[in-house]
Amino acid sequence: MPNINRVKNPYPRVRSRGVLTSPANATEWAKDVNCSTPSFFLNYTYSPGAKLGETEVMNDIVTPGFAKRSAAGEVIITPMSKSRTVCTSSCTYGGAIQTVANSCSSPAKKGIYETRGDILGYRLQSTGGILYPDALITDADVASLMTEAGTQCRANLSANSKNDLVESAAQAYSLGLPLISRAKSVHLWLNKYERLVQTGHDTASAWLQLRYGLLPTIADMQAILNGMSAVPRRDRKTFRGSATMRLQRVDTVDVGGTVLRMLLKRNTTDEVTVRATTVAETFLDGLSEVGLTPGNLVTLPWNLIPASFVVDWFTNVADYLQASVPALTSGILGDCTVTKRTRQVQYSVANTYVVGTSYTLVSPANGQFTSLYETKNRIASLSSPGLVIRGDFRLDNLIRITDTLALFASRVGTVFRDPISGRRRM
């Protein structure tokens, strides 16, 4: 039998599907109204505009015997990159104009010029090629998200528990009677209008204590009661961290020729999500199950600082402190960081207008052009732990707005309160 060379070493692979093609050329047609040749005739042909269609390309590493080796317990993480581009256009008409001056001898007639086809794609990309959405998120922002996700993942590894008795105890200590006092102030706020400013401060503080203190504490304590009876064991666990940033820009773009022009509304979005993963062999007992680990003990002083949870809302201080402590009971088997990015832009015709006084607008342009560009990359490592501003610290959802208003009201209320007696200043 002939010798068969079996592939044993990993090798790169490239796969692709789909194609982006140039659209049909947009054209300009003309005719003279009521002249001897009333039919439209081809007056001009534009060059191809932005390409249309969908394409996808993936680069990865093939590992021979992957399924068998994974089943045997081996952790295999290889680099991967993937991109997807989708460009579509619904523009079929570019508008029509009519001359003001006569175009025939006698009797007086008007000349009409009409644009047909995907003139929008041509105006946006007159040289052809692919029209990609703008990048709103910088490379520095992406690096910060990778640091945030990696730090959170390492912090979870250092904690090595589902529950955190240390943090729950700190939260319970910081809540105590202040929460009861704030609950009373809510009642006063609802019944005494003259104490609106003072009790507004207390109501805001009560909301923050409820959202970041009481509810998580109750959930932790319930889980801790179950963890105390855990049997010591070694276990393979997956620890994760994630960070997200999303930006949006809405503006207008003016495109067109010397006479007929279009005002386009441009809606651009850019979203990046980073997911960090660590697979590790861990040792679990009753103490680690409830959160009595070196990583959690290190964060205890921070959790006892008043309003430290507010700082953690903006930054990742708690995660950084916890991630800085080595996970003594864990053996890391593999790290992985996956970065997914979605950029999209949509152009839609908001207005069609004529420049000058020699022509008038007969009919406007129509349609919209959309470009979507997605990328996904995987690397077999994590970013080193670091202090960063959280990527999702933006007023893009209702709960963030509520938190911000509560913080603002909490600070404003102290301006009208006497620092000694706690009464409202007149």
- The Cα–Cα gap between 83 and 18 comes to 12
For 226-273, the pLDDT digits (tens) are 655 555 667 788 999 999 999 999 999 999 999 999 999 999 999 999
- The mean per-residue pLDDT over the stretch 141-165 comes to 83
More confident site: 34 or 197: 34
Q: Work out whether the CA dihedral 360, 364, 365, 368 comes out positive or negative.
A: positive
Please give the pLDDT value at position 404: 58
Q: Are the C-beta atoms of residues 238 and 277 closer than 8 Å to each other?
A: yes
Three-state SS at 407: helix
Give the pLDDT confidence of 205-215 residue by residue, as tens digits.
Answer: 666 666 666 66
- The confidence score (pLDDT) of residue 350 equals 95
* Torsion angle, alpha carbons of 85, 265, 396, 388, to 10: 60
Return mean pLDDT, the chain. Answer: 79
pLDDT in the model for residue 244: 95
pLDDT given at position 37? 59
Q: In what order do the strands lie in the sheet with 111-116?
A: 41-45, 27-32, 111-116, 93-99, 359-363
Is the whole-model pTM more than 0.85? no
Stretch among 148-152, 298-302, 326-330, 396-400 having the lowest mean pLDDT:
396-400
In order, the DSSP letters of 276-316 are EEEEEEEEE-HHHHHT-SHHHHHTHHHHHSTTHHHHHHHB-
| Measured distance CA(142)–CA(150) in Å, rounded | 12
Report, as an integer, the average pLDDT of 324-338: 81
pLDDT of residue 186: 44
pLDDT for residue 4: 45
CB of 264 closer than 8 Å to CB of 255: yes
Query: For position 150, what pLDDT does the model report?
Result: 96
- Residue 62 or residue 181, greater confidence: 62
pLDDT at position 413 over 70? no
Across-strand partners of 97? 113, 361
Cα angle 88, 91, 92; round to 5: 125
Please report the pLDDT score of residue 140 as a whole number: 95
Q: If you search the block for the tokens 């570019």, which residue do you land on?
A: 94
pLDDT higher than threshold 70 for residue 20? yes
pLDDT exceeds cutoff 80 at 277: yes
Residue 2: its pLDDT value, please?
Answer: 46
Evaluate if residue 76 carries a pLDDT over 50: yes
Cα separation values, 218 from 107, 108, 373, Å: 89, 86, 43
CA–CA dist 199, 182 (Å, integer): 8
What is the model's pLDDT at position 81?
97
pLDDT in tens, 159-203: 765 554 545 455 444 444 444 444 454 454 445 444 444 555 566
Q: Is 152 helix (H, G, I), strand (E, B) or coil?
A: helix
**Residue range 145-153: mean pLDDT, rounded:** 95
Under DSSP, is residue 375 helix (H, G, I), strand (E, B) or coil? strand
What share of the chain in percent tops pLDDT 70? 65
Which band of pLDDT confidence, cut at 50, 70 and 90, is reported for residue 153? Answer: very high
Helix (DSSP H) and strand (DSSP E) numbers for the chain: 12, 12
What the block records as the tokens of 283 is 């040792």
Which pair of tokens denotes residue 147?
């640091």
What is the predicted pLDDT for the residue at 281?
A: 85
Residue 314 pLDDT class (50, 70, 90 cuts): confident
Q: Distance of CA 243 to CAs 3, 314, 388, Å?
A: 51, 13, 11
Q: How far apart are CA 208 and CA 59, in angstroms?
A: 46
pLDDT level of residue 158 (50, 70, 90 thresholds):
confident
Enter the tokens of residue 423: 């009464």
Contact 51/23 with Cβ under 8 angstroms? yes
Instruction: Write down the pLDDT at residue 182.
Output: 44
Q: Which of 7-16, 147-156, 213-222 has the lowest mean pLDDT?
A: 213-222
Least confident of 71-80, 114-123, 180-189, 357-366: 180-189
Which carries the bigger pLDDT value, residue 192 or residue 44? 44
Report phi then psi at 371, rounded to 5: -130, 125
Distance CA 72, CA 70 (A): 5
Q: What pLDDT score was predicted for residue 124?
A: 95
pLDDT at 177: 43
